[in-house]
């Protein structure tokens, strides 16, 4: 891994407000106030580590132990000083402009959450409405919420280490979306998160669309494993996975799911858990699962898992389209028209889905400790949306054990997570996870996978 050992100085780019001296002091190395510097450093390193081939957050941090970033207070504003950054972020000795914008987006969001959200009593972290309000304010501060625009933001979910054939398919779907003047929102990383943005960029260019949006939503725990791709022109760092997921469904107008692994399944279960809630049955939310012909078996397995766990009722909320990018784009575009009509009739904002009801079980941050994972209730003796919430947490824990620094350390110290539940549900979960391992969807292809979990029948 080559590095640029020169000290690089950057002035703000993109949407970056000035910082107070207190805010700057919080971001200094050695400051004991909540570990803000380390969060800022890790997220900044991920942004600079563009096109990384590893999905192991700890490996990234180990490779760049000497990476340094400092916020320098000046009378006319702030600057960043960077040392020992990955060489891949540079062109002829200069950091790429898009990466500079993403660095200041990190600075903006980390500082804002610390100083305007966490320490502000106006935000009620114990109520569903309060947590939604937090997501709204973070997105508004990042200027992601744009009023007086029609619903046109399509969220694309999928794996970060997909195979080339799947990548090309995702890119073609993105191209068809771009031709129809639709904008893209993803988890900001590589693979199925980068491909639709890349395709849409070509479609937008052919249609001579100037105001093109490639929104990337991430969070500190996952960003090192899924570094933002350089196409993202609106990067937002949410404080945790739950707020990131809520941001997707509040700001997005429809969702396309491409092939992926446990992280993608977590996202599917999150959305289905919301949609099966009786309070949301009447709200249109287009959801399409799609991939090339080679992904047919993958989606069949996902569909079967949903049928066995959440039942046929949950299957009604999505359609599966195989190997037809034009049909995907046409159907999602038609779905967005339904969203527009519904929100118009109900006086709901186009830029933020206020009406959607999200239970606190989907909003409260889940700490993937061994105790918390073992205590999850994987049983059909509870409402469907609550079962979906706990199933979502199972996959969230596996993601943590696979690629997040804290999760990997927990597994090394205490062994695999113990996941308990009804026999039939455990069998369905085992079949799905086993298929992911066989298809190399748990890690970067070519790297053997050691499970960070084991299943136990109750």
Amino acid 445: pLDDT? 60
pLDDT digits (tens, 9 = 90+) for 90-113: 999 898 999 999 999 999 999 999
Which residue ranges form the domains of the chain, and what is each CATH number?
3-95 (3.30.1850.10), 133-345 (3.40.50.450), 360-457 (no CATH)
Whole-number mean pLDDT of the chain?
Answer: 90
* Mean pLDDT computed over 124-133: 93
Tokens of 192: 């199925």
- DSSP notation for 352-392: S--S----GGGTSPP---HHHHHT--B-SSS-HHHHHHHHH
* Mean pLDDT computed over 29-49: 80
Q: C-alpha distances in angstroms, 68 versus 7, 29, 48, 83, 85? A: 9, 9, 12, 5, 8
Q: What angle do CA 287, 105, 33 make, to 5 degrees?
A: 110
Residue 265: name the closest of 444, 395, 424 by CA. Answer: 395
The pLDDT confidence band at residue 66, using thresholds 50, 70 and 90, is: confident
Q: What number of other Cβ atoms are within 10 A of residue 206's Cβ?
A: 11
SS3 content of the chain, % helix, strand, coil (to 5): 50, 15, 35
Residue 295: name the closest of 256, 342, 247, 341 by CA. Answer: 256
pLDDT digits (tens, 9 = 90+) for 223-234: 877 889 989 999
pLDDT digits (tens, 9 = 90+) for 215-266: 999 999 888 778 899 899 999 999 999 999 999 999 999 999 999 999 999 9
The pLDDT confidence band at residue 23, using thresholds 50, 70 and 90, is: confident
160 pLDDT exceeds 80?
yes
Strands 3-4 and 85-86: antiparallel
Instruction: Determine what percent of the chain is predicted with pLDDT higher than 90.
Output: 65
pLDDT digits (tens, 9 = 90+) for 324-345: 999 999 999 999 999 999 999 9
129 pLDDT exceeds 90?
yes
Amino acid 52: pLDDT? 65
Q: Distance between CA 349 and CA 253 in Å, rounded? A: 11
Question: Which phi-psi region, left, alpha or beta, contains residue 446 (left: φ > 0; alpha: ψ -120 to 50)?
Answer: left
* Mean pLDDT computed over 183-211: 96
Q: What number of other Cβ atoms are within 10 A of residue 181's Cβ?
A: 16
User: 132: part of which helix (H) or strand (E)?
Assistant: helix 128-141
The pLDDT confidence band at residue 152, using thresholds 50, 70 and 90, is: very high
Cα 304–chain centre separation: 24
């Amino acid at each position: 891994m080559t590095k640029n050992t020169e000290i690089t100085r950057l002035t703000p780019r993109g949407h970056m407000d000035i910082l107070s001296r207190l805010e700057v002091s919080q971001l200094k190395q050695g400051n004991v106030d909540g570990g803000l510097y380390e969060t800022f450093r890790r997220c900044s390193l991920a942004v600079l580590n563009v096109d990384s081939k590893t999905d192991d957050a700890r490996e990234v941090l180990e490779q760049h132990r000497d990476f340094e970033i400092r916020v320098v207070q000046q009378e006319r504003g702030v600057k960043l000083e960077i040392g020992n950054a990955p060489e891949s972020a540079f062109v002829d000795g200069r950091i790429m402009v898009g990466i500079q914008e993403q660095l200041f987006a990190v600075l903006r969001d980390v500082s804002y959450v610390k100083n305007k959200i966490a320490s502000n009593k106006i935000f009620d972290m114990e109520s569903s409405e309060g947590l939604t309000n937090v997501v709204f304010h973070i997105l508004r501060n990042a200027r992601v919420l744009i009023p007086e625009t029609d619903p046109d933001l399509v969220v694309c979910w999928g794996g970060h280490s997909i195979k080339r054939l799947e990548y090309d398919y995702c890119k073609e779907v993105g191209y068809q979306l771009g031709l129809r003047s639709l904008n893209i929102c993803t988890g900001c990383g590589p693979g199925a998160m980068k491909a639709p943005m890349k395709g849409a960029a070509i479609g937008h260019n052919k249609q001579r669309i100037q105001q093109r949006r490639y929104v990337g939503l991430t969070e500190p725990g996952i960003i090192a494993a899924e570094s933002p791709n350089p196409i993202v022109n609106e990067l937002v760092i949410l404080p945790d996975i739950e707020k990131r997921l809520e941001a997707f469904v509040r700001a997005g107008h429809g969702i396309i799911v491409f092939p992926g692994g446990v992280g993608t399944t977590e996202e599917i279960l999150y959305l289905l858990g919301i949609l099966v809630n009786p309070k949301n049955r009447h709200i249109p939310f287009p959801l399409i699962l799609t991939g090339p012909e080679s992904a047919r078996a993958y989606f069949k397995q996902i569909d079967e898992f949903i049928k066995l766990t959440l039942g046929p009722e949950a299957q009604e909320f999505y359609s599966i389209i195989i190997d037809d990018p034009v049909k995907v784009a046409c159907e999602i575009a038609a779905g967005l028209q339904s969203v527009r009509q519904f929100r118009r009739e109900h006086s709901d904002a186009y830029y933020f889905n206020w009406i959607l009801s999200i239970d606190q079980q989907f909003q409260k941050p889940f700490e993937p400790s061994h105790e918390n994972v073992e205590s999850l209730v994987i049983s059909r003796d509870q409402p469907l949306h609550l079962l979906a919430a706990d199933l979502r947490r199972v996959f969230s824990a596996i993601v943590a054990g696979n690629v997040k620094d804290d999760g990997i350390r927990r597994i090394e110290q205490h062994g695999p997570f113990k996941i308990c539940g009804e026999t039939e549900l455990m069998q369905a979960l085992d079949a799905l996870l086993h298929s992911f391992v066989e298809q190399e969807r748990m890690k970067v292809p070519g790297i053997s996978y050691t499970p960070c979990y084991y299943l136990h029948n109750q």
